[in-house]
Structure 1
Amino acid sequence: MGPSTTPLIALGEVRTCLVPASATLHRAEASELLALVPGRRVLWRQRPGTLAVSPATPVGVDCDLVLPGAAPVRVVGTVAGRAVVTGGRILQSSVRTQVIRAAERRRQTWSHYLSRVGVTEVISRIGDRAETSDALIDGYLDERPSPETLDLASISERLLARLRTDPKLDQKAPMQSVTTRLRWTAKIGGTVGPKVSLRLDDELVRSAWVTVRTEADLDAAQRFCEDLAAHDWLLTVGDAAIEEADRFPASSREQLEILAAVLEHLAHLWMPGAHTPPELRGLWKDLQSEPGFSRQWNALTGQVRDRLRVAQWDLSRRLGVSTTEW
């Protein structure tokens, strides 16, 4: 009997930023931006909010995966990269690969690997599936990479740079924002899944551990992580906007412009789970409980609205306008 073709793990990274354009991207503009593969259509969803997903593009890799406490394992195959635009405002580069055992412990021709986009094969000798899966996850998320290690960060960074500098975008974003990274892993846990754990590594980098029930759910894990990354980005940018606004005097023009941009361009994009596949939508229940995603967002947008109301009251008071006339 040959080696199992069931994936050991899936590894991915999502980079998220604001579309560098003055206007919201609608279907035609988003489809043109995301036409990464000639002749293949961009997937589009209109409701409950717009979502555009590009076709996947392959990147060939021949490198190592870190295995804590042991020699690295060699993998050969492809990483699948795609781009996502949510609500015409959030731009993401998303890359992933499923790691499987190779049928033979030798490298095949590239045509073999290109026939399975987004799959890398382990050609080193490895041990028990469950034990190896957990070790590879730890190696990807916690160990220091080397120049020979699989570098999903560089692949996602290059794809996002290509999108952000596209001449079809006018580079006139309506507000300042940062780019965040979500590194994620997914493994098959059967009745143990689905479940998720999220860690904030620093101000801009996050790590997520996802467990799914079946192999078919691994593709859904990528879409869930893109949805998770988008909402984490909204929280990060909202917090940063309030911090930036605090640098200016209360009710000043600079402060009000920063706060108003959060409501105008971001508030309506908060829809956790709206674009997550049904089989993994329940993961949002855990995130709503801890760390309490929507509680944080409601508190953030509530603070922005309250500050704008106070500024309106202050302006009316200075102009001698009664508040009953609002």
Structure 2
Amino acid sequence: MLVLGEVLTSLLPTSAAVPADAAQRMLGLTAGAPVIRSDRPISYVVSPERLEGVDCQVPAALDRGVRGIGTVATRAVLTGGHAFQASARTVAERSRYSRRVLWSHYLARPGTLQIIGRYQEEAMAAAFLAGAPKPSGLDLTPIAERTAIRARSGVQLARKVAVPSDRITLRWAALLGAGEEELHFRVDSPLHRTVRIATSACDLADVVTLCESLALHDWLLTTLEAILSRAPLTGPSEGAVVDRIQPAVDHLLHLWTPGFRLSRGARDLWDRLDRLAGFDHQWHTSVNRIRDHMAVSTLRERDRPGVPR
């Protein structure tokens, strides 16, 4: 089974973390559908899925006659009251028909894209990850963006960003039921990543959660490194440097929780990637640099003439 997805990760535009109760109201995107909420180890709120219909060309290597009709499932996730994600995904499967049929047929298969034309999973996954979508092609970004806009409109935000950061897009393709376990992560640009997964140990829900978790932790690491590059930990003004890195301490450091909410199979994939890419090592190295610098700054301030001990 081939699954195509995309995750947009950014910082919610507010100066303070959104309380879990407010986040639950914010992500109640579908009347009568439950919002998933967890308060341990940190606040984690997930909206119910919404469906959006599509009828488009599907990237499939050199074959331009591949058409996809169906629905895309999309949801929003808020972690720690600050890290906001909009996620979209669809399962691509071969259609039994050579033409478009009644829309009720597609609604009966939520989150599924029926492929009319040549259906080759490997080629379709590679083409989906290869480049920007064409105007008439499958594009999950605006679908995820509409979900993000709808979620953010459900709560009054301060519109004051706590930490300077960029939105990062992670596009992913997963082959479920594949024989060999694989996860390939690639940084295509400062604001775009691609992930290719092959697994027989994870189901659809596991893979969606894994990709959202990977997107979150890559965004956290990228944002923290950007803060450190803008505020080097040496300089003539200790107080100014501390002021610049303090928001990261207040709003980002506690969000690093890799492995939580992942199934055993998904956690094995994360651990395999981490051994190669060193996400966890790089994160803790950066955090220790920040904390050591702030400790030294505190000692220097204490020893400054005229400051009572």
Mean Cα deviation higher: 283-292 or 158-167: 158-167
Instruction: Summarize the Cα distance change of 1:236–1:165 in structure 2 as closer, same or farther, 3 Å threshold.
Output: farther
**1:205-245, Cα deviation, whole Å (9 max, x unpaired):** 1101111206x712211110001111001001101111221
Q: 1:196 aligns with which of 183, 186, 195?
A: 183
Task: Give the alignment of 1:207-226 within 5 angstroms.
Answer: 207-213=194-200, 217-226=203-212
Instruction: Summarize the Cα distance change of 1:161–1:257 in structure 2 as closer, same or farther, 3 Å threshold.
Output: farther
Match of 1:176 in 2: 164
Deviation (angstroms), 1:40: 0.9
Q: Matches of 2:298 and 2:162 in 1, distance apart?
A: 22
Match of 1:3 in 2: none
C-alpha contact (below 8 Å) 1:66/1:72 kept by paired residues: no
Q: Matches of 1:319 and 1:168 in 2, distance apart?
A: 46
Unpaired segments ≥5 residues, structure 1: 1-6, 127-131
Task: Give the alignment of 1:1-326 within 5 angstroms.
Answer: 7=1, 9-126=2-119, 132-193=120-181, 195-213=182-200, 217-246=203-232, 249-319=235-305
C-alpha contact (below 8 Å) 1:187/1:218 kept by paired residues: no
Total equivalences in the alignment: 309
C-alpha contact (below 8 Å) 2:22/2:155 kept by paired residues: no
**1:255-301, Cα deviation, whole Å (9 max, x unpaired):** 21221111111111111010223331111211221101110100111
Matched AA of 2:140: L
Q: Cα RMSD over matched residues? A: 2.1
Deviation (angstroms), 1:99: 0.2
Deviation (angstroms), 1:25: 2.2
Deviation (angstroms), 1:73: 0.8
Matched AA of 1:297: W
C-alpha contact (below 8 Å) 1:14/1:93 kept by paired residues: yes
Deviation (angstroms), 1:104: 1.3
Q: Matches of 2:154 and 2:83 in 1, distance apart?
A: 15
Deviation (angstroms), 1:66: 1.5
Q: Matches of 1:234 and 1:149 in 2, distance apart?
A: 31
SS state at 2:212 partner = helix
C-alpha contact (below 8 Å) 1:15/1:156 kept by paired residues: yes
C-alpha contact (below 8 Å) 1:20/1:164 kept by paired residues: no
Deviation (angstroms), 1:191: 3.5
**1:25-82, Cα deviation, whole Å (9 max, x unpaired):** 2321111110110111101122222211101111110001112122241000011110
C-alpha contact (below 8 Å) 2:26/2:155 kept by paired residues: no
Matched AA of 1:58: L
Matched AA of 1:303: R
C-alpha contact (below 8 Å) 2:5/2:173 kept by paired residues: yes
Q: Matches of 1:241 and 1:250 in 2, distance apart?
A: 18
Deviation (angstroms), 1:173: 2.8
Alignment identity in percent?
Answer: 36
Q: Matches of 2:159 and 2:305 in 1, distance apart?
A: 37
Q: Matches of 2:110 and 2:81 in 1, distance apart?
A: 27
Matched AA of 1:319: P
SS state at 1:242 partner = helix
Q: Matches of 1:121 and 1:283 in 2, distance apart?
A: 28
SS state at 2:179 partner = helix
Deviation (angstroms), 1:310: 2.6
Mean Cα deviation higher: 164-173 or 47-56: 164-173
Q: Matches of 2:151 and 2:235 in 1, distance apart?
A: 36
Instruction: Summarize the Cα distance change of 1:252–1:84 in structure 2 as closer, same or farther, 3 Å threshold.
Output: same
Q: Matches of 1:34 and 1:98 in 2, distance apart?
A: 24
C-alpha contact (below 8 Å) 2:97/2:116 kept by paired residues: yes
SS state at 1:191 partner = coil
Instruction: Summarize the Cα distance change of 1:219–1:72 in structure 2 as closer, same or farther, 3 Å threshold.
Output: farther
